[in-house]
A and B are shown apart, each in its own frame.
Chain A
Amino acid sequence: MTKKDTAAADAPEAAAGEPLLKVTGLVKHFPINKGLLRRQVAAVKAVDGIDFDVRRGETLGVVGESGCGKSTMGRLITRLLEPTGGTVEFEGRDITHLGVAGMRPLRRDVQMIFQDPYGSLNPRHTVGTIVSAPFRLQGVEPEGGLKAEVQRLLSLVGLNPEHYNRYPHEFSGGQRQRIGIARALALKPKLVVADEPVSALDVSIQAQVVNLLDDLQEELGLTYVIIAHDLSVIRHVSDRIAVMYLGKIVELTDRTSLYESPMHPYTKALLSAVPVPDPRRRGAKSGRILLKGDVPSPISPPSGCRFHTRCWKATQICTVKEPPLASPVAGHQVACHHPENAPDQAPGDPALPGAADALAAVTP
């Protein structure tokens, strides 16, 4: 994505690189109520204190397994959910607790693309109605009239503008996803949050949509936060990547560093688990790490480092002290006491008795 970088550098504002969105200590707990009085007995700690910023013109990829809180994070920064704690700043303005009315003007600038191209479009509305909804809701009268603008948007995302009067069921999954993209781009947003934008699509269609997102970013100077579980897609689209595990960001860095020298053991395990589409590499699977078991429950996450229950490098300190998201190497943030490819943060700490078992799962 070198061309993207140059496009961003050429941008007239010359504001590329400065944070468009800043998230500090963001927390979202979903209460679990029980009993006659619906007393809160526990909470699902979906997002539990994360800090990051999104720079103007970049694509921030967010990866993690199901239940790690990545979608909740997306809904928090678009303010579809009310954060339990922390702050979200958009262009320097605190939007953490803005109400529906307060958010409305901001909705022009922050838009979302959803995963399910079936569920996210109203089946009773025509494509024209769906794509023109943002204009009606915001009271914007586009130049040249609503219909002409909608048709322009449809052709922008590669749909036939004459299909204005068709209903969503008349389109294929890939085309429906394009409708969702046209709707998100209608008001020329600054930030687009895409939650699994291509995971419901077939491989060939997925590539069309990935390229479309890429072209639109270049053309319109968009900033993306792309949430996905597919590490190959994330590698392709992102400039920087955040890896989440159980409601925390465990590693945040640029694409090359993450894929070539991951620091967090979880990132390393995650990357090594992805099947490589190359039959010649099948025999030489050195360093594949098989994590045992499942992700622990976010209701009562493990103490200390949340990954210590599955980590082969875990030591005593990992069970008691939560590692902060620090930068042992400039520009590479990681939350680990014993990072890979970097100096150990707690050398000489006695290993946990169970940790060696996880190491045995590293297949030679």
Chain B
Amino acid sequence: MTENPTAGSGGSAATTAGPAFVPEQAGPRSGAFLSVRDLKVHFPTDDGLVKSVDGLSFELERGKTLGIVGESGSGKSVTSLAIMGLHRTGNARSRPHISGEVVLDGEDLVKADADHVRTLRGRKMAMVFQDPLSAMHPYYTVGKQIVEAYLTHHDTDKKAARKRAVEMLDRVGIPEPHRRVDAYPHEFSGGMRQRAMIAMALVNNPELLIADEPTTALDVTVQAQILDLIRDLQREFGSAVIMITHDLGVVAEMADDILVMYGGRCVERGTAEKVFYEPRHPYTWGLLGSMPRIDREQTERLIPVKGSPPSLINIPSGCAFNPRCPYADVPEGGITRTRRPELTEDGSGHWSACHMAQEERTRIWTEEIAPKL
């Protein structure tokens, strides 16, 4: 997780850096398998510009899992659609304005043309959606849909593709895959549909898997099965995974790194260990305090965040979290209401965006918040 703000503006490293630096610049940057820099996704609407994602940067290595956490409307899903290039649909008036860069294995997907991104989708990167019933075509059998995904990227015959589809269904734990391959999505239960969608997403061994709330609609016992499956497959194929969820339990279980989003921006990013045990942003404290715990008896009240998430049309000035932040008046001069805090790193890969001094935040967390959780 290193960030190089000076190289953030241009298309590829080669064009921004001086010619002499090309090998060095290209080296470390291709090291990060996925690198998102200053990504902005703004939707024009009749009521104004909706800044769903407003300057997001992160990096992800192969074989690692990044958990993106946030409440509804924080921009988590829009981020994933922008990475997948699925924002390009719709008419010119409602299409979002995108800027920044999404570099996947050395290629900038924001600048790439739609046809090229289509060839990457499925093979290089794939996505698992929250609701498999609306993500799968109700009119085609599950097998046909998996075969189609496979044939799009492989020059082979239908028979081999079907064999591969059966193999994948078996791999994701669907009983009797030979028979089930000819079933329609509605004939599957919720958990089986989610498995089938994972099979479809993984049929081409994608290097990047984005799972957007993959288990939110499922019961806990089925959720445990699906999370296990994603973990196993990741181990097997060495894919990078982005896990988008609002469930802190799921990220704690799955993610190596966690990115907390609020109002379209990243407020905190670090290893799972850091974010859970030394969180640096008041919003993260709020999330941890709001969460009822399964693992311990809690006699105290929950500590919720007051108010509700901001409207993305009218994001509060200064720090987007300031109207809900109990510490908004700690920094002097009302700076929290006038200036947006920069995302800064503490030297150990732990990033946070808050005006309060880091020592002050560490003190508040260890003395005031942590003992109450």
Known A-B contacts A207-B302, A277-B248; A172 and B308 likewise in contact (beta carbons under 8 Å): yes
Q: In residues 181-205 of chain B, which contact A (Cβ within 8 Å)?
A: 189-192
Chain-B contact segment, one of A79-87, A112-120, A265-273, A318-326: A265-273
How far is A341 from B228 in the complex, measured between Cα atoms in Å? Answer: 27
A211: chain B residues within 8 A (beta carbon): 301-302, 304
A2 within 8 A of B: yes
Q: Residue among A1, A2, A205, A363 with the most chain B CB within 10 A?
A: A205
How far is A113 from B72 in the complex, measured between Cα atoms in Å? Answer: 22
A109: chain B residues within 8 A (beta carbon): none
* A273→B223 contact, CB < 8 A: yes
Which of B250, B288, B292, B304 makes the CB contact (< 8 A) with A275?
A: B250
A278 within 8 A of B: yes
B97 within 8 A of A: no
Residues on A facing B (Cβ under 8 Å): 1-2, 65-66, 172, 174-175, 202-208, 210-211, 214, 229-233, 235-237, 255-256, 259, 269-282, 288, 290-291, 293-295, 363
* B220→A65 contact, CB < 8 A: yes
Output the least CB separation between A349 and chain B (Å). Answer: 25
Please report whether the interface of chain A is mostly helix, strand, loop or mixed according to DSSP. Answer: helix
* Chain A residue with Cβ nearest B302: A207
Output the least CB separation between A203 and chain B (Å). Answer: 5
B299: chain A residues within 8 A (beta carbon): 1-2
B272: chain A residues within 8 A (beta carbon): 279
Size of B's binding interface in residues, CB under 8 A: 49
11 new A-B contacts, CB < 8 A, other than A65-B222, A236-B298, are A203-B248, A204-B290, A204-B305, A206-B290, A207-B305, A210-B302, A229-B220, A256-B297, A273-B223, A279-B255, A294-B191
Output the least CB separation between B76 and chain A (Å). Answer: 12
How far is A327 from B71 in the complex, measured between Cα atoms in Å? Answer: 42
* A274→B249 contact, CB < 8 A: yes
* Chain B residue with Cβ nearest A285: B253
Q: Would you give the 0/1 interface string for B199-226, flagging 1 where the beta carbon is closer than 8 Å to chain A?
A: 0000000000000000000011111110
Known A-B contacts A205-B308, A207-B291; A282 and B252 likewise in contact (beta carbons under 8 Å): yes
A231: chain B residues within 8 A (beta carbon): 220, 294
Known A-B contacts A175-B308, A204-B304, A211-B304; A232 and B293 likewise in contact (beta carbons under 8 Å): yes
B273 within 8 A of A: yes
* A202→B250 contact, CB < 8 A: no
Closest 4 CB pairs of A and B: A275-B249, A207-B304, A207-B290, A236-B292
Q: In residues 289-334 of chain B, which contact A (Cβ within 8 Å)?
A: 289-295, 297-299, 301-306, 308-309
* B222→A275 contact, CB < 8 A: no
Q: Residue among B253, B255, B286 with the most chain A CB within 10 A?
A: B253
Which of B225, B292, B308 makes the CB contact (< 8 A) with A233?
A: B292
* A274→B308 contact, CB < 8 A: no
Q: Would you give the 0/1 interface string for B231-275, flagging 1 where the beta carbon is closer than 8 Å to chain A?
A: 000000000000000111110110100000000000000001100
